[in-house]
Every structure is written in structure tokens, then in C-alpha cells.
Structure 1
């Protein structure tokens, strides 16, 4: 079975993690992914090639619309795909949906991975294109209720026309490791510190700017604290780094950059901070809960991401920085749950990739919901 994945970017984020998490399992279930990318390089390029995936590099639709259309049509004419799976952060670009729909691909999936989008132009294009999605997509899929309602509308969601496919993970990969914790904390000089953690790109939705403001309040209460920020040093990184310097927080904020072994850092943390402006169901929150970390997150993040309510505190972004700081210190004192309890909770909440991959394959085959 051949699936053409469209929408992955050149930086590994939540959308890219979704595709790859499922690909790593489905490739062993007779499902092959190929990829269309309009950037110079696609995220996970080396791994995609090792797994047997073909990557088509085509012109950027914003810079060369005609070239993008021509190349995508050629790909769909020359190779028979069972499904075209279009991963979307908004409806600003529905060109691949329109092309696949008009070329009579058996199944065309529009997949919502977010619950908002920044920028006036993008929002305008998103608003204009949304009503057209149903013309071309045979299936509407979302990572959660909030993302589904946002892109496809309340009416479509309530009538059962939106299928939920969770941002599932391999839970065991993120298990808490006491030895890893001790080794890393000793190496970093964090033995006697409260380590607050965050994983995410330096992008507007993640709200790193607010994290720095909150840290100012945390440090006034406790000097033995550090904020560990994991994510590629791109996007708004320089802006945030400068803000940290001006706030005289350099000793309290560590920029870890991109990390291949995120679990190692999660184990070294005491509490997770996630004050996002908007999110669907972020992988980072699922992964940190798999590690057993308590979390303080904004209520702008979908509640569907909360697997263990007793370990997660949701706060309004309207709450002041001191309230956030006090809550972080309080939640940092919680102990992790036993790993077997965590794994069972993730499985029951349908975030275990071993079971969810079969559900996605069934959707591709037209079995069950949306078939």
C-alpha cells in the first residue's frame, strides 16, 4: 500500500513527529510512505531514505505556484498512490488537496494538526479556503477535538465527519531512567537544583517570551532553579536568548538545542512548562507524561493532551507571572507515577503507537470510521 505524505517541513516539529512515529510502525505492516517537500531538505531525510521512502523535492508553492502544480501533477500521474495524506497547520494552502481531488485519487485526507494560525495573510487565506476542503478531501482527520473543530467547523465535527487520529508515541522510549537523570544532572551541575523543562521550536505559539517572564518570578523565590529549553536554535532563538541576557537570567536558562535523546533530558527534569498560545495535541506533552513529569501548561492547549489530570495543572495565560511561578514550584514537588501505571494510562487514552498505527492503516484501507 502506497501513501503520499504532503506537508512535512524542513524542521522537526509536531506534524513531522506524527508522520514519522506512524511511518516507523506502518512500514512493517506493508504500508509505504513517500513524501513531497517544497523546501531544500525535509526533516528526517536520512531516516526516511533508510525506511525506503521516496522524497520528491518540488518548487515552493509561494514562490513558484505553476512549478509546484506541474510537479505534483506529474508525481500523481506517474506513481499510483492509494492515499494522498495532506498534513495541515491551516487551510492557507489547499492546492495539494485540490490537485489530488481533481485527479481522482481514491482517498484524499485533510489532516488538521493545529488549533490556530499566526499572521494576517495566512489567517485570511485560511478563512477563504476552509469551505473548499470538503470538495476535495474524502476524509477529514484531526489530532484532537479542538484541532478538528477549528479547521473543519463545529457542524462537521458534531455530525461525525471528522475522524480523530491521536498523536501517538512509543511510550517505552520515554520512560523515566533514574541513572540517566543522575548522570546528566551531575554533568550539568544540576544536582541540587529544580530543573524546569520545555521541548519545542522557538516559534510564536510556544510562547518562550512568557517563559522568560515567569522565570524572573521563579528566581526571586528560589535561586537554585534552571530552565532547560530543548529545541533547534532557529526561529526566535536569538530573540529569546537576548531577552534572557537582558533579564540577567543566563545562569538560570540553559539552551540545550536539538536533542536526539529527549528522554534523557526529561528524566533530568522536575517539572515541565508549556504556556503555549495555541496547540492541538502536542507531542511534547504526551512524551513528558510518559516520563512521569508533572506539568504546568496553559489552558489554550487542548485538554485532550492531559492523560494524568492529577499531574497536570492548566492555567489561564491571563494569570500573572507570579501565579505561574508559584504553581511551577508547587508542581515540581510531585513524585513520578510508577512506569507500569503510566504505560497503561497511555494505552487506555489511545496514545500508544502500537495500537493506533493499526487504526490509521484501517482508515487508509477504508475499514471502520470514515471508510
Structure 2
């Protein structure tokens, strides 16, 4: 832990807290405004669409200007969006709410890739895996605690207090970020004005290890993108909505447990190899979940394993990218990574809805687990054939 990284963690804890306070408040506002489920879904989809469209431009900007400046501006936009959401509440305006969500997602298109780049500058290579694991734990604790607090707050306090909480979180977040110091090793002012986004695809061709990583993340999101629908369906099948809270809680607890043991799991081993093995583990966890249709204990076991494997997988996903992506293209690559994540999430959500609508939960989980395990095995074989090797204890890697 160093001062910079501590400030990054504290600021992001507040960022995630503000995000989740806002999500709960906006859901409640949409209910009060009498919006149908279709319009609610449409409002929630519009924001991520703009994030995807903005990502290529965001990547170019991050590679052209200092990372701290972009993080600061993105934070100010997030704060402005919180004020807009409060105004939408006072005026009962759906259009202002939509505008604020669009602007918030555009700000996140700049913020998330910038933060990944910043961590790579602040933390030594040998400590990146631990840093990403700690970052994951902090954001998980924030998500779990704020969702619990928000549920209670909406039961006892006026909705106004939720929007005030969002503003307070973003205000303190921006204040803390003033104390972040990032020393970039290259002078971005010397870059040419044109920074083609297509360079990301050329990079994938030069470093095919990244293709294996993208295949892995696609398989993770194949289930994760529709996980909320799966949990909802399980609670409906067992006619017990308390199950939802238990499943979210178990997943989060095991996600955090994994964060404390992730360094021992990887050690000096090949990061991509262990990353792919963990993806196979998530496939096995999803396979166990399918029996949750008959026994809720199978659902608990499946989500416990899924949370643990995810908790071990997520830090290495960020670490591998931070280690091998050249500094001059990090912004564009991390922007592409965020764009890819969002697209796969939305497609996975549609896939889950289709499977639950025309088949059933058992079939969905069965097919998804087979797909995850099959593709991860392909990546494993590919890894052995091409001899992709990357370790925290090596300054270079094969291929």
C-alpha cells in the first residue's frame, strides 16, 4: 500500500457507493413516475449504448492527455450528473433523468480505462496482482454494503436523502482525487494528433495472448451478464424471494475471500494458464447451479464456487493487460476492453432472456456451462501449443 493507491481505493469506494445509491434511487423514481417495465429497460439500456459508442474516442483521448486530468474531468462530470438526477427528482422529468444517465455512462467510458492505466503507473509490476485483488475487494464491499443500506434507506427515509447521498459521495470522491499523483514515463504531447483506434486490432495480432484473454472474458460474461435473471428465476421457482439476498451475499463473500488468497494461487505460475483454468472452474460452478432448480443448496454451492473463481479470475484479467500493453496504447486498449465487456454483457442478457423464455432455467445453465468449459479447454490447448507465458516475476514473456 502507498499513499497514491490508498487514495485511489478510497475515491473509488465512494465512486461505487455513489453509483449504487443512484441506481436504487433512479429505480424508485421510475416506479413513482409510473413507467412500464419496457420503458424502464429502455432507459437503462440507453446509457451503456452511449458508453460503447464513446469508447473508441475515449481511448484516443486517454492516450493523448495525462491520465490524472481525464480522471479529474470524468469525476466532475459524474458529480454534475448526480446534481442533474436530483433535479430530475424535483421536476419529475424523465428526459433529464435519461440525459443524466447518458452523461454518466459517457464519463465512465473515460474514467474506467483511465483508472486501469493509473493503477499500472502507481503500482510496481510485482504488486499488480495484489493491487487488483485489493481493488476488487474494496469495490465488492462497497457494492454489498451500499445495496443493503439503500434497501433500508428506501424503507425509512424520503427518496430525496438517497440523491443527497449520491452528491455527497461524488463530492468527497472528487476532493480525494486532488491528492493522486501519477508520473507517466512518456511525454504524450509528442504524440501525433492521429491515434487510430484500429491500432488495438493490430496489437491483438502482434500479441495473440490477448485474444485468449478476450475469449476467457467472453465466457465469463456469457453467464454473468444474465446472472440477475437467473437469481430472480431461482427465487421464483422456490417461491422464496429471501433466496435472492442469500445468493448475492454468498457470491460477494466468496469473491472477497478469493481476493485474500489470489496471490498464493498464482505465485510464480503462468498467469494466462491459471486464468483459463479458473474460467473452466466457473463453468463447473454454473453446471452445479443447474441442480438448484431442484435443490436450493445446489444453487448456494454453485454461487459460492462461482464467487470464489470470479474473485481469483478478475485480478488476473486486469493484471495481464496492465503488464503487457505498451504505455502508448493503454488508453485505447482499456477503452476497447470496456467496450467489449459492455457488448458481451448486453448480448448475454439477451441470450439469457431468450433461453428462459423459450426453454427453461435448467437448459440455460446446462448449455451455458458446456459452452464455458468447452471454450476454456480450447484456450488451454492453444496456450500449450503456442507456449504463451506471462508471470509477475518476469519482465518479459513469450510471444
Larger fraction in helix = 2
The structure showing larger relative contact order (alpha-carbon pairs under 8 Å, at least 6 residues apart) is 2
- With the shorter chain as reference, the TM-score category is under 0.3
User: Which TM-score applies when normalising by structure 1?
Assistant: 0.24
Larger fraction in strand = 1
